[in-house]
Amino acid sequence: MASVKKFQVTFDCARPERVARFWCEALGYVPPPPPKGFDTWDAYNGSLPPERRDAWFACSDPDGVGPRFYFQRVPEGKVVKNRVHLDIRVGTGLVGDERVAALEAECARLVALGAVRVQLLLADEENESCLAMQDVEGNEFCLD
């Protein structure tokens, strides 16, 4: 049996393109070009029946290293905490005040994009400091 090497992370959301564009900015990812025969995503969406417009969006690592992200519209809103979340590794190798400063700087950048700061969790005997946040639709993630 072959081991899986590639995977996609899928987000359920109300506004797929909005959430995707946040994650593009957060991670340096890029959206795909519009489907063949269309100059823009708006033109593509305009060609669809109303119920299928803005139903999904995707983005990927331009270097091809990280997973593809897929965002799909769902009718229900987010109700409880995520069981799985992303950690953005901005403090790797840093400790103490230097690590907290890196987390805070990235937090400020992401808040300007629409993210919400939740809580700074300071280092203890087992874990380094991390910063809990939410994306533009309330999905939890951490700056680590």
The pLDDT tens digits for 124-140 are: 988 899 999 999 999 99
Residue 21, token pair as written in the block: 């564009």
- Residues 109, 132: Cα–Cα separation, whole Å: 14
In the chain, the domains with their CATH numbers are: 8-73 (3.30.720), 86-143 (no CATH)
CA distance 67 to 55: 20
For residues 13 and 20, the answer to whether their CB atoms sit within 8 Å is: no
Structure tokens at 54: 């803005």
Give the per-residue pLDDT at 27. 96
Q: How far is CA 61 from the centre of its chain?
A: 12
pLDDT tens, position by position, 55-110 = 999 999 999 999 999 999 999 888 888 888 999 999 999 999 999 999 999 999 99
Q: What does the alpha-carbon distance between residue 129 and residue 144 come to, in Å, rounded to a whole number? A: 7
Q: Give me the residues paired with residue 72 across strands.
A: 12, 56
The structure's pTM equals: 0.87
